[in-house]
């Protein structure tokens, strides 16, 4: 009995050490998984390596179909315009859609990007491998990466779902801290929104 309890404690301790408070895969300070050759609404393919000259990268998992993600679109746009509008800016904002339902397919993403005037890359993670590698579970869910591509913040974009009630932009704070070479005051929060619609794995005999 004692051995069973000790083994269970070790497993729980190990899982805590290897994941964040709310993220099942990453913890603060981990190297970001990255992405390569993801198709964007601009007709190009995008890789994290394309942003090698950026000091800070903000990755936001979002989509067309989630009402909460839609409510956050203008806040993501505002962050991009503040920090990443200039091509020479040291900050890049990248939005990634990992859902595969009809409303989240590339043609609909292109329509949304044009309609809302997204000033950032909007990419489709059709395989869902990028979302899984980041441990992303919700839309929207944000990750701020520093110059070494370490995760310095992950979670909610700000402190309130309703825009008029939001007072603290965790992402903006993390960007400022990373640009200054410091750790943000808040490094991880619980993301809010809709669950990413991960495809169910099929068995070989299905």
Measured between alpha carbons, how far is 54 from 139 in angstroms, rounded to an integer?
A: 24
Compute the Cα dihedral for 33, 25, 31, 75 and give only its sign.
positive
Q: Which domains does the chain have, with CATH numbers?
A: 28-195 (3.40.30.10)
Contact 121, 95 (CB under 8 A): yes
Rounded (10°) CA dihedral 179, 180, 182, 185: -80
pLDDT at 7 over 60: no
The pLDDT tens digits of the residues spanning 167-204 come to 999 999 999 999 999 999 999 999 999 999 999 865 44
In degrees, rounded to 5, the angle at the alpha carbon of residue 108 between the alpha carbons of residues 25 and 103 is 65
pLDDT at 13 over 60: no
pLDDT-based confidence at 19, cuts 50/70/90?
confident
pLDDT given for residue 18 in this prediction? 65
Dihedrals phi, psi of 124, to nearest 5 degrees: -110, 120
pLDDT of residue 201: 66
CB 30 within 8 A of CB 151: yes
Q: For residue range 46-79, what is the model confidence (pLDDT) as tens digits?
A: 999 999 999 999 999 999 999 999 999 999 999 9
pLDDT at 3 over 60: no
């Amino acid at each position: 009995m004692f051995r069973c309890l000790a083994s269970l404690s070790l497993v729980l301790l190990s899982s805590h050490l290897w994941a964040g408070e709310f993220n099942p895969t990453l913890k603060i300070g981990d190297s970001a998984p990255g992405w390569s050759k993801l198709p964007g609404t601009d007709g190009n393919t995008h890789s994290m390596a394309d942003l090698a000259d950026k000091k800070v990268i903000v990755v936001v998992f979002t989509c067309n179909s989630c009402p909460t993600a839609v409510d956050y679109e203008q806040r993501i746009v505002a962050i991009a315009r503040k920090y990443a509008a200039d091509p020479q800016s040291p900050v890049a904002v990248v939005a990634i859609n990992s859902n595969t339902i009809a409303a989240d397919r590339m043609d609909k993403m292109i329509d949304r990007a044009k309609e809302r005037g997204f000033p950032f890359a909007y990419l489709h993670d059709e395989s869902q491998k990028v979302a899984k590698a980041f441990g992303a579970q919700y839309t929207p869910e944000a990750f701020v990466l520093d110059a070494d591509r370490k995760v310095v913040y992950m979670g909610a974009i700000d402190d309130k779902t309703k825009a008029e009630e939001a007072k603290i932009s965790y992402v903006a704070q993390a960007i400022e801290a990373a640009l200054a070479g410091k750790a943000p005051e808040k490094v991880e929060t619980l993301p809010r929104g809709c669950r990413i619609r991960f495809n169910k794995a099929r068995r070989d005999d299905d």
